[in-house]
Structure 1
Amino acid sequence: MTHHITATREDGTVFEVSYGYGARQRRLLGCLHCDWEEQITYGGARHKGLDHLAQAHGAVGSPTMTADPRARRQVLWAMTVCFLISVVILWWAMSQT
Structure 2
Amino acid sequence: MTHRITAIHEDGTVFEVSYGYGPGQRRMLGCQHCDWQERITYGGARHKGLDHLAQAHGALGSPRMTADAAARRQVVLIMLACFAVAAVIVWWAASQG
Q: What TM-score does the superposition give when structure 2 sets the normalisation length?
A: 0.99
- Return the alpha-carbon distance in structure 2 between the equivalents of residues 34 and 86 of structure 1: 46
Question: How far 1:29 moved relative to its partner?
Answer: 0.3
Three-state SS of the structure 1 residue aligned to 2:5 is: strand
Question: Unaligned stretches of 5+ in structure 1?
Answer: none
Question: Partner of 1:41 in structure 2?
Answer: 41
The CA distance in 2 between the partners of 1:39 and 1:28, in whole Å, is 5
RMSD: 0.4
Paired residue for 1:7? Answer: 7
**Matching residue's letter, 1:83:** F
Q: How does 1:84-95 map to 2 (within 5 A)?
A: 84-95=84-95
Structure 2 CA distance, aligned partners of 1:11 and 1:39? 30
Opposite residue 90 of structure 2, the aligned amino acid is: L
SS at the partner of 2:17? strand
**Which residue does 1:22 correspond to in 2?**
22
Q: Secondary structure at the match of 1:38?
A: strand
Which stretches of structure 1, 4 residues or longer, exceed 3 Å deviation after superposition?
Answer: none
Offset at residue 40 of structure 1 (A): 1.0
Counterpart for residue 76 of structure 1: 76
Q: Which runs of 5+ in 2 are unaligned?
A: none
- Give the percent of matched residue pairs that are identical in Structure 1 and Structure 2: 74
Relative to the length of structure 1, the TM-score reads 0.99
